[in-house]
Chains A and B, each alone.
Chain A
Amino acid sequence: MSSEVARPTVGSKISVNVKPDSLLTRMKKSWVSYLFIAPFMLLFSVFTILPVLISIGFSFTYFNMLEPPTWIGWGNYLRLFLADDVFLIAVKNTLFFAAITGPLSYFMCFIFAWFINELQPKVRAFLTLLFYAPSISGNAFIVWTLIFHRDTYGYLNAQLLYFGLIDRPIQWLVDPDWMMPICILVTLWMSLGTSFLVFIAGLQGISPSLYEAGAIDGIKNRWQELWYLTLPAMRGYMMFGAIMSITGSFQAASILTQLTGPTPTDYATWTVMQHLLDYGNVRYEMGYASAIAVVLFLTMVGTQKLVQRLLNKIGT
């Protein structure tokens, strides 16, 4: 059996003096591996790869979902960058939003997971639930719209007026000066989600013997331990968390829409993803929406490559 199985990279080094097999032979030898990935790959090709390729094709067409798409070449992309002022505002907002929420949510996920991991199992499970609560409780972030309600009955306005810090209510979710900071605050509050859980599970999987050996080798405090032992052991999960933060912060839309409404003042909280949904779901300009998706995709891929380069420096 084992001769037909593709060997892991470590084992393949043994047969150095043998002539390397041709691609076809290697593929034939790997049939078990292909069997393992077959169910997933079949579905993935049909429900993800194919639709994505079709959408990229749509981005070069005018497609209103009623008539067949007509080819317009780079038209959508030219319109995006040369004629669509709102898109440029959205790009500026998205970059600002992502530059703050992306790294901050990432560090929050890791720091909270790291701290929680120091605790006894029962306390840890309870705190994990409390920190994960904003992500698990669906639309419970509506509570923020009550706190930042714009009249004197809003929780925050009422308190500030009571203490005499302001003399009239602040229009939190309508005033362009306040909208973005509030959206960022609420997003960060909801950001202890997938990566947080993955970090906790990952930290628990690190063998205690690693730390004991480290202590003997002269690790003095928790910060040295973090940099030289924990972070290198967590590198795979750190990349996972980075991708979650990138996709989360660049594709933010629904929280912003529900906080500041579908038509925010001066487009102060209008993001690229909202622009995309506006053209795709409201105006039925699928070609244009696809072009936005492609631009957003390329931006995220670029950011991911950059972050990967930074993460490779960990523990050195």
Chain B
Amino acid sequence: MIKRIRKPRLSRSLGGDIGIFIFLGLGAAFMSMPLVFSINNAFKPLNELFLFPPRFFVKNPTMDNFTDLMVLMSKSWVPITRYFYNSIKIVVLGMLGNVIAGSLAAYALSKHDFPGRKLVNEAIVLSLMFASAVTNIPNYLTISYLGWVNTHWSIIVPAWQWTLGLYLMKNFIDAMVPNTLIEAARIDGASEFRVYAQVVMPIVKPAWLTLIILVFQNLWSLTGGQFLYAEELKTLPTALNQISAGGIARQGVAAAITLMMMSVPIIVFIINQSKIVETMGTSGMGGE
């Protein structure tokens, strides 16, 4: 049984393995609470949602909350598909730009030696530590100067320079791509761009797959706040927040919305993780 769950590895004791399984089992039960709770809540009829004392598990599961949500969405002034399209557009463009701009710069910062490299690396680490709440005003002025207020670019373009992505990519390139491999590719006559696209990026696939999850999650929950005014430009979270803010009677619908909103990143996460496992099984390329 234990052999089937864990990878065969050297220098492991049976007692330690059993200890780890117990530890992980308890941890998983504790951590999965929000998932279990949200799923249960979404299927609770109204009388169970307002039950006092509140019950954790659903007793008479129903689809009422979802059908109510469908009715509300079909009555929406701007069709719900429009909000969905806006969200997808922002997420996809923001994610692509972030991964591409970040990994291009990460490759040069990790494997090239040029004047100013140390300074840029330092600036990136420092920028992660400055509270973004106070940079909102200068940012708003910049965006309004560029004429991007009330367009999706106000959300998409700033997302391209989220430093987390670059910093993450740089760490993975540092650790996983041996210098000798890059040298070899150059000797074979590959241009720098080809080295980046065909040597470095395939090796660090786990890095950009992980980055995609993180950026997706961040962009997916964005409401567009101070930049988007036109109703037809707003995102899915805004629309769903408006529906669930419609008073206490919307409690059931709100639970259905919570489940719906969190199921999308979870699906992305599952697809993504299975891809990471695949690469690891086949590439066999490790850090030196």
Contacts and interface: CB of A to CB of B under 8 A. Distances in A.
Given A119-B6, A189-B31, A198-B210, A293 B53 contact: no
Given A43-B161, A220-B11, A30 B115 contact: yes
Given A48-B127, A208-B286, A137 B38 contact: yes
A133 B262 CA distance: 10
A236 B175 contact: yes
Contacts of B71: none
Interface in B69-88: none
A70 B12 CA distance: 66
A27 interface: yes
Given A112-B27, A138-B221, A143-B37, A201 B172 contact: yes
A interface, size bucket: 35 or more
A10 B114 contact: no
A7 B113 contact: yes
A304 B221 CA distance: 29
Given A40-B102, A210-B286, A8 B168 contact: no
A101 interface: no
A312 interface: no
B242 to A, nearest CB: 16
B133 A280 contact: yes
Classify the secondary structure of B's interface with A: helix
A121 B13 CA distance: 20
Given A26-B115, A115-B20, A286-B137, A50 B31 contact: no
Interface residues of B, number: 109
A91 B9 CA distance: 47
Interface in A33-50: 33-34, 36-37, 39-41, 43-44, 46-50
Contacts of B231: none
A127 interface: yes
A30 to B, nearest CB: 3
Interface string B187-219: 101011000100000000011011001100100
Contacts of A51: 135, 138-139, 142
Nearest to B209: A201
A18 interface: no
A179 interface: no
A171 interface: no
B247 interface: no
B263 to A, nearest CB: 10
A159 to B, nearest CB: 10
Most chain A CB within 10 A, of B7, B120, B213, is at B7
A205 B189 CA distance: 27
A153 to B, nearest CB: 4
B269 A132 contact: yes
B214 A197 contact: yes
Contact of B20 (A118, A124, A194): A118
Contact of B37 (A12, A140, A280): A140
A44 B163 contact: yes
A51 B171 CA distance: 26
A133 B217 CA distance: 12
Nearest to A141: B34
Contacts of B53: 152-155, 158
A77 interface: no
Contact of B186 (A2, A119, A304): A2
B41 to A, nearest CB: 9
B248 interface: no
A302 B11 CA distance: 39
A47 B158 contact: yes
Interface in A222-270: 222, 224-225, 233-234, 236-237, 239-240, 243, 246-247, 251
Given A36-B107, A37-B108, A153-B52, A27 B102 contact: no
A136 to B, nearest CB: 5
Contacts of A47: 139, 142, 157-158, 161
A13 to B, nearest CB: 11
Nearest to B143: A47
Given A44-B123, A124-B277, A125-B270, 7 more contacts: A39-B160, A40-B166, A50-B138, A51-B142, A209-B286, A221-B12, A286-B137
25 contacts: A6-B112, A33-B108, A37-B105, A40-B166, A44-B163, A47-B158, A47-B161, A51-B138, A112-B24, A130-B32, A131-B27, A131-B28, A132-B269, A134-B33, A189-B31, A201-B172, A201-B207, A201-B209, A204-B280, A205-B206, A209-B286, A243-B125, A289-B133, A293-B130, A301-B129
